[in-house]
Amino acid sequence: MIAVERDIALKRFTFRAYLRAIHHQSILEKYVDVSRMSAYKQCMGEVKTIQLRQFCELFNVEHREVRYILEQGYIPKGVMKSPSTGNRREFQPDHALWLGIVLKLKQVGIRTPLAAMVAERAVEGMTIFAQLYGWDYGLFPFKGRLDADQNYFMDIGDLTCIRFVFDVFPTGRVSRDFRIRMRARRYLGWQPVDGSRCPVQDFEPFVTLRVDLLRIIKLLNKYEPWSASKGSQI
């Protein structure tokens, strides 16, 4: 009986979460005015950046491996596609997180177009759940904050669908009794990887690939300017 109540409660919660995510998409977009806000913040020095060389050192990869992704036209939103002579690409925390996810997916055989779509959904999804639901206020990639305390994963099913996996519920959104009964890891519903936010019903993948997003965030936080500014960014 408890298991049945748990399943019903979780389904209701995840359905409401998706409705709220869709409703708040316009709110998220104001934080992701990438064409102007990113360039302005970078010029004003509000968000510290990382260069390609430093990024490659963090991930222990050759420059050409990352350059190949960028030369294919898969570039984080807000980053110059073709830097002028003498200029180097500078990556803000949200750019570096996107690129790190793409890089790790490619290293296990995922093609760049799919990896780029998954990375975009992952960065946006973490922002929605961390900020709009009060999940993890230290995590706000678009404003330069990568101070995550919770576990975040993204599952890729049969290379066609994705789902978020968490270990916590948003603060103040559910009762204490509900939290006690739902201590197990939380799996949100499957969604098409192509950008549609409609849940896929009765989807049971034969192959599931899991991306540990928190480990990528922690790796990026080893970059000294970002680790030194943890908790101090607004």
pLDDT value at residue 134? 72
Ranges of the chain whose pLDDT falls below 70: 1-46, 83-87, 168-185, 228-234
CB count within 10 Å of CB 170 equals: 17
Picking from 165, 160, 166, the residue whose alpha carbon sits closest to that of residue 195 is 160
Whole-model pTM: value is 0.75
- 121-138: burial string, b at 16+ Cβ within 10 Å, e else: bbbbbbbbbbbbbebbee
pLDDT value at residue 179? 52
